[in-house]
């Protein structure tokens, strides 16, 4: 179902800098999955593909979830009201012993369905059995950049297997599916392995995606053990230079920001404060400082085991509010900043900064039509504020187009049977929480 025209919508215009604006009564013309024109509504031209009626809807650039572990939707709600240490060591890492390729596939399908219905057109993933995630993304018609994850505790074979998984994703040769290198973190992967991974990334022309300075405790612990911060570890191992998606970065210091700045053309940070607040982290990602240094920031939900949703609209709201409070400055993150982070920012972190993230001629047609007519958005004095602070994913996401193809129409997923996805997930939900086998995939002691 290729779309050739979205007719008579409002368009959220997200420039690389400055104020986000809304243009009314626009037609978005699409050919071969690419936006070829955004113009005042006129006579529909002829051509191949569907015309989507955008009347009364706001077209926004497809949102990118710039850091997630998508199959972890299977653990949603299974690790609540616990410390960071217990979250890892008592709940999640023991449960992840139960992962199998089939179970990861089922979880990834559920996650892709949730994301599409939330207006997320692409995600930057970091998990095990990555080939299964890639296949699920293909089945559902969502973009993905997937980093097969490994710990150094799994030895050279673990690292090699993760590299092989990258090759397997590349072999799919699907322009919507990308791969990155996925060492777990600076505290679970040795500097030797980080160096090897950074070199391998450079050889393949791929990015690295890993957890760095997730919280300030990790930064303090790193300085105590090694004399340097996690960002410095990523720097001296060549990870920053290779080009990297840094997940979380709540423990990034002002001096770290100066280290990051020279790599700003290829290295950025994904932030998702909902989960940070939930884990009582203070500070959260220094988003304002990063933006001021020219470092790209994206909105990421992390896995649903900590964030409970894969909702990027919600993540943008939390970024705006947590940053305003942290900086003690209402202007520290404006509506325009937040909307840019969820669109252009995420697109850049997914490696598609020049081809996604804005509704402009020449970019790929990843378009979400949002309905701001709900009672909770009215009256709409400012559609940008309504989008960020009043609208909700699911109920207000009307239509989703990925690479010019219609994947959600009138709140309905077109690409896969949603009921089958849900019942498949329910069928294995309790098996994944079973701790009777014992053991854990890793131990948290950063």
Q: Rule CB under 8 A: is residue 410 a binding residue for its own copies?
A: no
Query: What is the end-to-end Cα distance of the chain in Å, rounded?
Result: 48
Smaller CB separation from its own copies, 18 or 227: 18
Q: Rule CB under 8 A: is residue 140 a binding residue for its own copies?
A: no
Q: Rule CB under 8 A: is residue 380 a binding residue for its own copies?
A: yes
Q: What is the DSSP letter of 181?
A: B
Q: Which part of the chain contacts its own copies (CB under 8 A), choosing from 82-90, 187-195, 261-269, 286-294? A: 82-90
Residues in region 101-130 near its own copies by CB under 8 A: 110, 113-114, 117-118
Phi, psi of 364 (to 5 degrees): -70, 150
Q: How far is the CB of 318 from its own copies (least distance, A)?
A: 8
Q: Which tokens hold the place of 161?
A: 């297997």
Smaller CB separation from its own copies, 153 or 423: 423
Residues 62, 120 contacting (CB under 8 angstroms): yes
The continuous run of DSSP H or E covering 53 comes out as strand 50-53
Which residue is it, tokens 């849900």? 422
Euclidean distance between CA atoms 267 and 287, whole angstroms: 14
Q: How far is the CB of 417 from its own copies (least distance, A)?
A: 12
Smaller CB separation from its own copies, 30 or 310: 310
Phi, psi of 152 (to 5 degrees): -65, -20
Scored b (16 or more CB within 10 A) or e, 117-152 reads: bbbbbbbbbbbbbbbbbbbbbbbbbbbbbbbbbbbb
Smaller CB separation from its own copies, 73 or 257: 73
Q: Rule CB under 8 A: is residue 276 a binding residue for its own copies?
A: yes
Binds its own copies (CB under 8 A): choice among 188, 197, 309, 442: 309
Q: Rule CB under 8 A: is residue 373 a binding residue for its own copies?
A: yes
Q: Rule CB under 8 A: is residue 88 a binding residue for its own copies?
A: no
Q: What is the DSSP letter of 187?
A: T
Q: Rule CB under 8 A: is residue 142 a binding residue for its own copies?
A: no
Smaller CB separation from its own copies, 193 or 311: 311
Q: Rule CB under 8 A: is residue 392 a binding residue for its own copies?
A: yes
Q: Rule CB under 8 A: is residue 418 a binding residue for its own copies?
A: yes
Q: Which tokens hold the place of 153?
A: 């505790």
């Amino acid at each position: 179902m290729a779309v050739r025209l979205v007719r008579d919508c409002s368009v959220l215009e997200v420039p690389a800098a400055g104020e986000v604006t809304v243009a009314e009564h626009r037609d978005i013309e699409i050919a071969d999955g690419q936006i070829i024109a955004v113009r005042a509504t006129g006579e529909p031209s002829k051509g191949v593909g569907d015309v989507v009626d955008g009347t009364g809807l706001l077209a926004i650039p497809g949102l990118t979830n710039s850091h997630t572990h998508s199959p972890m939707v299977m653990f949603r709600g299974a690790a609540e009201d616990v410390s960071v240490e217990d979250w890892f060591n008592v709940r999640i890492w023991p449960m992840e012993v139960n992962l199998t390729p089939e179970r990861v596939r089922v979880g990834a399908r559920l996650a892709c369905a949730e994301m599409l219905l939330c207006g997320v057109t692409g995600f930057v993933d970091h998990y095990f059995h990555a080939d299964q995630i890639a296949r699920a993304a293909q089945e559902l018609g969502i973009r993905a950049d997937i980093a097969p994850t490994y710990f150094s505790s799994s030895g050279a074979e673990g690292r090699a297997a993760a590299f092989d998984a990258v090759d397997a994703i590349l072999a799919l040769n699907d322009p919507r599916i990308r791969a990155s290198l996925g060492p777990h973190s600076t505290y679970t992967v040795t500097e030797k392995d980080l160096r090897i991974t950074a070199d391998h990334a450079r050889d393949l022309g791929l990015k690295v995606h890993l957890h760095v300075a997730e919280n300030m405790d990790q930064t303090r612990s790193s300085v105590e053990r090694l004399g340097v911060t996690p960002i410095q570890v990523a720097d001296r191992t060549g990870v920053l230079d290779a080009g990297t998606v840094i997940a979380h970065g709540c423990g990034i210091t002002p001096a770290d920001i100066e280290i990051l700045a020279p790599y700003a053309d290829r290295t950025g940070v994904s932030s998702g404060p909902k989960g940070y607040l939930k884990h009582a982290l203070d500070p959260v990602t220094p988003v304002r400082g990063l933006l001021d240094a020219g470092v790209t920031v994206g909105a990421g939900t992390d896995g649903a085991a900590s964030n409970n949703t894969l909702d990027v609209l919600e993540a943008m709201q939390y970024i705006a509010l947590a940053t305003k409070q942290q900086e003690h400055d209402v202007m520290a993150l404006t509506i325009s900043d937040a909307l840019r982070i969820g669109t252009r920012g995420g697109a850049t972190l997914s490696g598609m900064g020049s081809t996604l993230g804005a509704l402009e001629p020449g970019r790929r047609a990843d378009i979400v039509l949002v309905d701001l007519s709900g009672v909770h958005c009215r009256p709409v004095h400012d559609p940008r504020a309504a989008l960020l602070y009043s609208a909700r994913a699911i109920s207000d996401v009307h239509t989703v187009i990925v690479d010019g193809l219609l994947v959600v129409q009138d709140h309905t997923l077109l690409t896969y049977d949603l009921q089958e996805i849900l019942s498949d997930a329910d069928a294995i939900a309790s098996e994944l929480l079973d701790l009777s086998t014992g053991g854990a995939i890793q131990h948290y002691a950063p």
